[in-house]
């Protein structure tokens, strides 16, 4: 645990008692603060009370008495409308913050003066690929024997990790919900993978969404910024961070074009990763045979992870060996079975159109299971990416409407995962891939994308006997 510094004896409100909220309460208490907790859910409050925490409705005099209000990332603080507790706190002048900020304020301690190598923090954000990028960095570091912890939006909560040891690297995956509110953001290395439409209601459009991601760089002032420049927003961000094209504090990343005219770049073309510095190639990796990193979207993740590891001083061949043993993350282009010449892939994390497009581009001869709770903007753009789709098997409560948007794609309305998997397995032949890449949220039929992916995997394994 990372004890929170700076609030000894102070009353600090904690709004929302899920994973991050309870973690923050524990870390505040460990640091000498007095947490005052609230959640509208009776069971969540009961759990906090069972741990000895004070619970009280955060309003009026109780709220005014707080030195700080910590809120969970899922609670809106501005758009689409502010949570009433947060709005009242702001009206009273009570600072509002989150656990990510508490981590950055509290991670470094006076004990670091006795360490030979200062610990470092790598923070990864973006629309797609941030989980894989974070996990891949962590895996490569583990492969080399370097002390490392993985936390944030993946792995453990940021305040649940252990105090740093000599030379340790903490890798954080941070969502826009987490970066948007944090008052302190000070990573040593910051990564921006890409940007595509997502969470637009929460951020009041693409501009607000990008602004939330950009705060990791503009507020944090990282020593090195690793930025995907295949979208206009990344291109702009790299331009804002660099003093000129040869400024190697910014590492530009691409999977769409060669980048040879800058101080430091990493790009991938046709499955080959290349590292250039000041116009000269100094490293390369053939990514095509790495089963845990299929497709150009994973090649972008590999480029970002490679750039981080090079910044941390690892040699290209060492990084390549770490990549080769990377098993991939569950629900992200995860191969769950191979039988009869058919490959079964679980990409349930493809919850938006852009991530599904990337999944469709990673495989050939696809039997595609898709559908679910549509996000803003519809799914018609998927048709242009479906050249390798032999047939789509559509699930979800609105499966018929989803299927109608897939112009030019043979579809079968299955509604349930059971029917979709059974029909795809019946139809699939040698050399084909049965791919779950929903391009939609799971909440019409499942509690989470993880449960959706697990259901798919269980049905495949049961069908194969």
Determine whether the annotation assigns residue 126 to a binding site: yes
DSSP state of 373: B
Determine whether the annotation assigns residue 132 to a binding site: yes
Determine whether the annotation assigns residue 196 to a binding site: no
- 3-state secondary structure (DSSP) of residue 387: coil
State how far the Cα of 453 lies from the Cα of 438, in Å rounded to an integer. 10
Burial annotation 297-327 (CB, 10 A radius, 16+ → b, else e): bbbbbbbbbbbbbbbbebebeebbebbeebe
42-50 vs 19-30: helix crossing angle, rounded to 10: 30
Determine whether the annotation assigns residue 72 to a binding site: no
State how far the Cα of 169 lies from the Cα of 314, in Å rounded to an integer. 13
Tokens for 312? 């941390």
Q: Residue 10's CB: how many other CB atoms inside 10 A?
A: 16
Determine whether the annotation assigns residue 298 to a binding site: no
Determine whether the annotation assigns residue 179 to a binding site: no
CA 22 to chain centre: 21
What element of type H or E holds 450?
helix 449-464
Tokens for 55? 């619970």
- 138 burial type by CB count under 10 A (0-12 exposed, 13-18 middle, 19+ buried): buried
Determine whether the annotation assigns residue 375 to a binding site: no
State how far the Cα of 122 lies from the Cα of 308, in Å rounded to an integer. 8
DSSP letter for each residue of 63-132 = HHT-SEEEE-TTS-SSSS---HHHHHHHHHT--EE-HHHHHHHHS--GGGGG-SS--EEEEEE-SSSHHH
Residue ranges of the annotated binding site for ATP are 126-132
Residue ranges of the annotated binding site are 126-132
């Amino acid at each position: 645990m990372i004890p929170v510094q700076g609030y000894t004896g102070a009353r600090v409100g904690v709004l929302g008692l899920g994973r991050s909220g309870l973690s923050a309460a524990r870390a505040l208490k460990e640091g000498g603060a007095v947490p005052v907790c609230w959640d509208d859910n009776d069971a969540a409050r009961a759990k906090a009370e069972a741990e000895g925490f004070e619970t009280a409705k955060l309003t009026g005099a109780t709220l005014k008495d707080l030195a700080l209000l910590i809120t969970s990332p899922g609670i809106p603080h501005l758009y689409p409308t502010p949570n009433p507790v947060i709005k009242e706190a702001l009206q009273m002048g009570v600072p509002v913050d989150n656990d990510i900020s508490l981590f950055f304020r509290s991670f470094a301690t006076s004990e670091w003066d006795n360490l030979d190598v200062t610990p470092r923090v790598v923070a990864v954000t973006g629309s797609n690929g941030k989980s894989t990028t974070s996990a891949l960095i962590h895996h490569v570091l583990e492969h080399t024997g370097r002390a490392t912890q993985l936390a944030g939006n993946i792995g453990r909560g940021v305040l649940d990790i252990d105090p740093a040891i000599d030379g340790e690297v903490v890798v954080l995956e941070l969502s826009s919900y987490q970066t948007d509110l944090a008052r302190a953001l000070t990573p040593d290395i910051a990564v921006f993978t890409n940007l595509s439409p997502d969470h637009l209601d929460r951020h009041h459009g693409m501009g607000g969404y990008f602004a939330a991601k950009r705060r990791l760089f503009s507020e944090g002032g990282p020593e090195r910024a690793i930025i995907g420049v295949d979208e206009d927003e990344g291109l702009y961000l790299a331009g804002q961070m660099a003093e000129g094209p040869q400024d190697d504090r910014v590492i530009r990343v691409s999977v769409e074009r060669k980048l040879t005219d800058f101080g430091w770049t990493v790009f991938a073309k046709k499955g080959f990763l290349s590292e250039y510095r000041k116009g000269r190639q100094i490293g390369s990796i053939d990514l095509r045979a790495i089963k845990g990193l299929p497709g150009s979207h994973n090649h972008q993740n590999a480029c970002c992870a490679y750039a981080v590891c090079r910044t941390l001083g690892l040699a290209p061949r060492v990084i390549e060996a770490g990549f080769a043993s990377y098993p991939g993350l569950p629900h992200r282009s995860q191969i769950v079975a191979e039988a009869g010449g058919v490959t079964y892939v679980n990409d349930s994390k493809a919850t938006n159109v852009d991530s599904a497009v990337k999944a469709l581009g990673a495989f050939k001869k696809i039997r595609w299971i898709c559908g679910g709770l549509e996000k803003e903007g519809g799914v018609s753009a998927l048709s242009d990416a479906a050249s390798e789709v032999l047939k789509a098997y559509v699930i979800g409560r609105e499966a018929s409407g989803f299927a109608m948007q897939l112009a030019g794609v043979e579809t079968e309305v299955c509604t349930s995962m059971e029917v979709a998997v059974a029909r795809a397995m019946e139809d699939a032949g040698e050399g084909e891939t049965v791919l779950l890449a929903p391009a939609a949220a799971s909440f019409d039929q499942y509690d989470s994308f993880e449960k959706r992916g697990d259901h798919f995997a269980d049905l495949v394994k049961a069908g194969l006997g």
